Amino acid sequence: MKLFFKSFEYDRRDLDTYILLLSAPLLLTLYICFGQAKDFSSLFPTFIGHQLEGYYGHIYQFISFFILVFIIPLLYLKLKMKKPLFDFGFGTGKWKFGLIFCLISIPLLIVPFTYSGAMMPDIQGEYPMARILLERHDLILSYELTYIIFYYIAWEFFFRGFLLFGLKDRFGALNAILIQTISSCLVHIGKPDGEIIGSIIFGILMGVLALRTRSFWYPFLIHISMGVMTDLFVIYLK
């Protein structure tokens, strides 16, 4: 056994780094295996056959994601690492640069890019994830608010906050950007091909933006713009 672990280098001072690295495959695997909309029916069988099952299933998915990649990492930061949340991108950071970047990039780049993507058949077949929204427009507001609050905030905190800022001092800015990009890209497996490829470019750019502004809120604004507009374009312009 000693020979087996002979080349295993372990430094107790790097325990937090090990936990941060392990959190990505562990928490994201739990989400993929047990936190999807399809898992809702097995946990709440009384909703099987109900016309709103798909809607509630995705609400369950968003909340599951929030618990796994927001609540759990947040508790680790506060109870174990005992570090200020501002060190992990929670603050407004360099807000002038961040807001100017968003005000320019969203209307000039994100809107036309998202619109062109929403016209593609594979994107229209994927979004909105709750297909009932195509008919029940009265559910759009509650769905999108839940999407933003529980899914997108958790996403940006975990990838562009917890992982990125948590690993940059140990591995350097570029390596930290690549680590969070790899992790976020893998969650897109099964999505349309263009979205998977785009997630690599997007992950790198948003990582740079988060570090440049010292905040994950500006990537959050861009990300929700893409997500919500994709849904709305598909629903109303299909």
pLDDT at position 1 is 56
Cα–Cα distance for residue pair 88/158, rounded to 1 Å: 9
Residue 9 has pLDDT above 90, yes or no: no
> Residue 25 — φ and ψ, nearest 5°?
-65, -35
Residue 100 has pLDDT above 80, yes or no: yes
How many structural domains compose the chain? 1
The answer as to whether 11 is a domain residue is no
CB atoms within 10 A of CB 191: 15
Cα–Cα distance for residue pair 118/123, rounded to 1 Å: 6
The answer as to whether 8 is a domain residue is no
pLDDT at position 2 is 58
Residue 8 has pLDDT above 90, yes or no: no
The boundaries of the domain holding residue 145 are 17-237
Residue pair 234/192 in contact by the 8 Å Cβ criterion: no
pTM value is 0.94
The answer as to whether 94 is a domain residue is yes
Cα–Cα distance for residue pair 157/136, rounded to 1 Å: 31
The answer as to whether 6 is a domain residue is no
Positive or negative CA dihedral for 170, 176, 180, 186?
A: negative
pLDDT tens column, 38-67: 888 777 776 655 667 789 999 999 999 999
The answer as to whether 4 is a domain residue is no
The answer as to whether 1 is a domain residue is no
pLDDT at position 63 is 97
The answer as to whether 164 is a domain residue is yes
pLDDT tens column, 201-230: 999 999 999 999 999 999 999 999 999 999
The answer as to whether 153 is a domain residue is yes
Q: What is the mean pLDDT of the chain?
A: 93
Cα–Cα distance for residue pair 172/13, rounded to 1 Å: 17
Q: How far apart are the first and last CA of the chain?
A: 61
DSSP 86-142: GGGT-S--SHHHHHHHHHHHIIIIIHHHHHHHHTSHHHHHHSSSSGGGGT-GGGHHH
pLDDT at position 44 is 73
Mean pLDDT within 28-40: 94
